[in-house]
Amino acid sequence: TSAQAFAAVDIGASSGRVILGTMTDAGPELVTVHRFPNGVQFLGGALRWDVEALFAEVLTGLTAAAAAAAAAGTTVTSIGIDTWAVDYGLVDDTGALRHLPFSYRDGRTEATIGVVHAALPPERLYARTGLQFLPFNTLYQLAAERSLSGVQALLIPDLLAYRLTGERRTEATNASTTGLLDAATGTWAQDLLEALGLPADLFPPLVEPGSVVGHLLPAIAAGTGLPETTAVVAVGSHDTASAVAAVPAGSTRFAYISSGTWSLVGVELDTPILGDGSRAANFTNERGVDGTIRYLRNTGGLWLLQECLREWSVEGPEPDLLGLLTAAGELPAGGPVIDADSNDFLAPDGMPARIRRAAEAAGHAAPSSRAAVVRCILDSLAEAYARTLRDAVRLSGHAIDVIHVVGGGSQNALLCQLTADRTGLPVLAGPVEATALGNVLVQARAAGLVAAGPGLAGIREAARAAARTVRYEPADLAALSPAG
């Protein structure tokens, strides 16, 4: 093992983990040292994230990472942090939060979208930022804040990094989800901030993945057992940026599905596509590590399934996911399909009933059993993936011959098979912890342990060395192919 280890803090909408990564001769090795649940909570009259509790979990995880590194005879060289995108905390001069950060699932932006678009028409926004319209993009959330005087906005990973180091930066991949970054240059679109009446220095300066944000505050070092020399390194702090960086692709002809609470479905490009066709299809151009562009759409994701499981666990004993998936797989094909991308599924609560209503509204019989509801969700996700990939190929001209599915959802064999069947393309599933892997590899590259440039080549090569993938062949090769 190497004398250097890297701690990846990866917090998704449904769970978080701290993973210790080392670079061995056989490739990167990841060990999960701490895992904790996450979820939106109704607090103070709105849907929010309990970032204080999350920060406590980060400290617990870093303490475990320090101990695990010591036990393995290594030290933690650096820490990288990634979380879901878009959301932020407002901190004053003393570092205190003005209020607990809102969740992107809170409905308060319904009232501000029109206000923002009156100042900045959607066509102008898209041509400039390349960001798909989602009702929760940061700029709509900022427009809903009562006051922004005396505070700075720190995106969630940047907020956690600030708490660890005392340094305020905005990591560039996540900045691209604010709706305030110029897609062509990757710098703040100051004219957009101005048009919305936002302070020019609302966000701290940008920092690219691979650069040092700062070093641990003495109290954090003492509390976790990590040396004060431990750096916090910017990674693709948008979880999807880290996940896609670690896709174990062997060529450029791949599509990816980053499958977790959301399914992020698309291709990787060198330059953004900012035209009207792209805007009409609501494709996004998010920035990736090394200035790559993730040309993708957010599709509904396993949130629909998570919410059903949550509701069923309130009604009775904890439902067994694997049992439900087996039962769903035994149901015949051709069941109801709904629009998994609909904003009707954004908010929590009452999900099984909403799915039954959506099936009826689409002219199908409502799925009656739990297994049928699960099958409906998975058929609908696979259909949304196929539709999205057809659009991605059509709009970008980027050919694909394989789909890489990464993230927790890559363990869902039924969904992987349905995806292969509906797209007519082979699916390579894994790694499950692609996000943490991408996080570790950007740190390891910054430390000189992964080959630098051109582009992501060194990181992808290391990702291939680490990955165990499962291959799913399409049942019917004549099925709809995104390439055709």
Amino acid identity, position 62: L
Give the one entry of ligand LRH, ligand ADP, none that residue 336 binds, where binding means its C-beta sits below a cut-off of 5 to 8 angstroms depending on kind.
none
The active-site residue out of 239, 341, 379, 391 is: 239
Q: Residue 17: which H helix or E strand, with range?
A: strand 15-24
Quick one: 141 or 306, whose CB is closer to ligand ADP?
Answer: 306
Give the footprint of ligand LRH on this chain (CB under 6 A).
12-13, 84-86, 104, 238-240, 260-262, 264, 298
Nearer to ligand LRH, 156 or 377 (CB): 156
Nearer to ligand LRH, 139 or 372 (CB): 139
Q: Least CB distance from residue 258 to ligand LRH, whole Å?
A: 7
300 CA to centre of own chain: 13
CB 24 within 8 A of CB 316: no
For residue 261, the minimal CB distance to ligand ADP (Å) is 3
In angstroms, give the least distance from the CB of 301 to ligand LRH.
Answer: 8
Instruction: Identify the residue among 15, 63, 75, 252 touching ligand ADP (CB under 6 A).
Output: 15
Residues 184-223 interacting with ligand ADP (rule: CB under 6 A): none
CA-atom Rg of the chain in angstroms: 22
Active site includes 339?
no
77 vs 261 by CB, closer to ligand LRH: 261
Write down the least CB distance from residue 15 to ligand ADP, Å.
Answer: 5
User: Is 306 an interacting residue with respect to ligand ADP (CB under 6 A)?
Assistant: yes
Contact between 157 and 96 (Cβ < 8 Å): no
What, of ligand LRH, ligand ADP, none, does residue 157 touch, CB below 5 to 8 Å by kind?
none
Burial pattern 429-454, b for ≥16 Cβ within 10 A else e, equals bbbbbbbbbbbbbbbbbbbebbeeee
Q: Is the Cβ of residue 14 or residue 252 nearer to ligand ADP in the bound state? A: 14
Residue 261 is a binding residue for ligand ADP (CB under 6 A): yes
Q: Which is nearer to ligand LRH, 236 or 336 (CB)?
A: 236
In whole angstroms, the minimum distance from the beta carbon of 298 to ligand LRH comes to 5
DSSP E strands: which ranges in 168-324?
170-171, 206-207, 212-215, 231-233, 254-259, 263-269, 284-287, 293-299
Region binding ligand ADP by CB under 6 A among candidate stretches 13-21, 73-81, 110-118, 419-427: 13-21
Dist CA 259 CA 340 (whole Å): 14
Q: Residues 479, 424: contact at Cβ < 8 Å? A: yes
Tokens of 425: 């393309």
Between residue 394 and residue 413, which ones bind ligand ADP under the rule CB under 6 A?
407-409, 411-412
CA 313 → CA 204, 303, 310, 345, distances in Å? 42, 15, 5, 19
Least distance (Å) between residue 59 CB and ligand ADP: 20
- Show the beta-strand stretches assigned E in 151-281: 152-155, 170-171, 206-207, 212-215, 231-233, 254-259, 263-269
**Which alpha helices (DSSP H) does 199-254 contain, by range?**
218-224, 239-245
Is 431 a binding residue for ligand ADP by CB under 6 A? The answer is no
299 binds ligand ADP (CB under 6 A): no
Using CB under 6 A, which of the segments 63-71, 128-136, 301-309, 454-462 binds ligand ADP? 301-309
- Number of residues interacting with ligand ADP: please give it, by CB under 6 A: 14
Distance CA 381, CA 257 (A): 11
Q: How far is the CB of 79 from ligand ADP (least distance, A)?
A: 19
C-beta of 165 vs 412, nearer to ligand ADP: 412
CA distance 400 to 391: 12
Choose between 266 and 336: whose C-beta lies nearer to ligand LRH.
Answer: 266
- In whole angstroms, the minimum distance from the beta carbon of 171 to ligand LRH comes to 13
Binding site partner of 305, from ligand ADP, ligand LRH, none, Cβ cut-off 5-8 A by kind: ligand ADP
Q: Exposed/middle/buried for 314, CB within 10 Å: 0-12, 13-18, 19+?
A: exposed
CA atoms within 13 A on the CB side of 199: 13
Does 41 bind ligand ADP (CB under 6 A)? Our answer is no
Q: What six digits make up the tokens of 64?
A: 């475990």
CA distance 235 to 289: 8
Which residues bind to ligand ADP, rule: CB under 6 A? 12-15, 260-261, 302, 305-306, 407-409, 411-412
By annotation, the residues acting in catalysis are: 239
